[in-house]
Amino acid sequence: MGVSGSGKSTLGAALAQQMHLPFLEGDQFHPPENVEKMRAGMALTDEDRQPWPEALAHALRGAETGAVLSCSALRVSYRDDLRRLAGRELDFLWLKLDATALEQRLQARTGHYMPAHLLASQLATLEPPEPRENIIELNAANSVAALVAQASAMLHTRDRA
């Protein structure tokens, strides 16, 4: 989880490969009208986002042996909905990075529908995890290899607990 440019897709794909699990790119589950709205430079509203957790949860339910999913999950209520709708225990990894570094990443990114100027709306929407959520926080400035190693170790520790 995290805002645009935090590295969710990059880490998710690498982690899924390392864990031998399917990777579900959350952006692919947005309704076409949401993608077009973002492409046009308009921020999504809570109402726009409403069908997204349901589509993500449906994909997770279809992954019988588990999966790695990238999605922003910006609000506590979105994460709660995703947990409830998925009908299974979920571990969230929060890729955290300062706004300046995020802006630089988004300016350098090509081929994505999310324009860099929408970062401010995502940062305004982001609700940091509550302690009850037990979310793993990762420094997104670290290398992908370091993030995969850290995430794997922390998830493995959780599985043993």
33-89 tens-digit pLDDT:
888 887 787 877 888 888 888 899 999 988 888 999 999 999 999 899 999 999 888
Which of 19, 21, 156, 12 has the alpha carbon at shortest distance from 71?
12
113 pLDDT higher than 70: no
| Span 23-37, pLDDT tens digits | 999 888 888 888 888
How far apart (Å, rounded) are the C-alpha atoms in residues 84 and 132?
15
The phi-psi region of residue 72 (left if phi > 0; otherwise alpha if psi is between -120 and 50; otherwise beta) is: alpha
So where are the chain's domains? 8-160
Mean pLDDT of 147-155: 95
Tell me if residue 93 falls in helix, strand or coil: strand
CATH topology of domain 8-160: Rossmann fold (3.40.50)
